[in-house]
């Protein structure tokens, strides 16, 4: 199973995300992560999703998306020529035994402690999904209380500009 990232430019209108998500549900495709936001033009939003499957599954997902009326452009991003980032907040138990380790790991991973209470530390971390996953693995034994991730956002590097 290969992981792939699909970016779609869609009309920024009510119900478009529901139609895209319903399409994947009807076809039995699983979305691993999904993020949506307005683009440089308020008329369009960009849907960035990650999924896993073989090349035929990927191609079928793209083809089905391109058939939707409100979808203007769909592309598969090449992992070697794209930038990917994800944002995560993770709340970890704050005990005298693990406080220094959480703070040191946050610094090493270039995270920020954005909330400190006697019971928990909340760390904000941005990076590629591998970095995020590695930090989660490191924090699990220390006691993750709550975790929230945005999903991947991605752009191709040096893509030529067309009118």
Output the pLDDT for position 163: 43
Tens-of-pLDDT digits for all 163 residues of the chain?
899 999 999 999 999 999 999 998 888 888 999 999 999 999 999 999 999 999 999 999 999 999 999 999 999 999 889 999 999 999 999 999 999 999 999 999 999 999 999 999 999 999 999 999 999 999 999 999 999 999 999 999 876 555 4
Position 102 scores a pLDDT of: 97
The CB density around residue 97, as the number of other CB atoms within 10 Å, is 8
User: 57-87 burial string, b = 16+ CB within 10 Å, else e?
Assistant: bbeebeebbeebebbeebeebeeeebebebb
Q: Decide the pairing of beta strands 112-116 and 71-77.
A: unpaired
Query: Quick one: CATH architecture of 2-77?
Result: 2-Layer Sandwich (3.30)
> Per-residue DSSP letters for 65-88?
HHTSTTEEEEEEEPGGGEEEEEEE
Is the torsion defined by CA of 26, 31, 35, 40 positive or negative? negative
Q: What is the rounded distance in angstroms from the CA atom of residue 107 to the CA atom of residue 44?
A: 37
The CATH number of 83-153 is 3.30.70.1150
Contact of 32 with 3, CB cutoff 8 Å: yes
Which position has the token pair 């779609």? 8
* pLDDT the model gives residue 158: 77
Instruction: Give domain limits for the chain.
Output: 2-77, 83-153
């Amino acid at each position: 199973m290969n992981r792939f990232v699909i970016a779609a430019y869609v009309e920024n209108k009510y119900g478009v995300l529901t139609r895209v998500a319903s399409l994947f549900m009807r076809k039995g495709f699983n979305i691993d992560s999904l993020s949506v936001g307005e683009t440089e033009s308020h008329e369009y939003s960009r849907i960035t999703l990650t999924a896993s499957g073989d090349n035929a599954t990927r191609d079928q997902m793209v083809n089905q998306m391109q058939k939707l009326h409100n979808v203007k452009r769909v592309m598969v991003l090449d992992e070697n020529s794209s930038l990917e980032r994800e944002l995560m907040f993770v709340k970890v138990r704050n005990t005298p035994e693990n406080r220094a380790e959480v703070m040191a790991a946050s610094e090493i991973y270039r995270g920020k402690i954005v909330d400190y209470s006697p019971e928990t530390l909340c760390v904000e971390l941005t990076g590629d999904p591998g970095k995020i996953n590695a930090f989660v693995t490191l924090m699990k034994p220390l006691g993750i209380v709550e975790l929230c991730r945005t999903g991947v956002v991605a752009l191709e590097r040096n893509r030529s500009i067309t009118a």
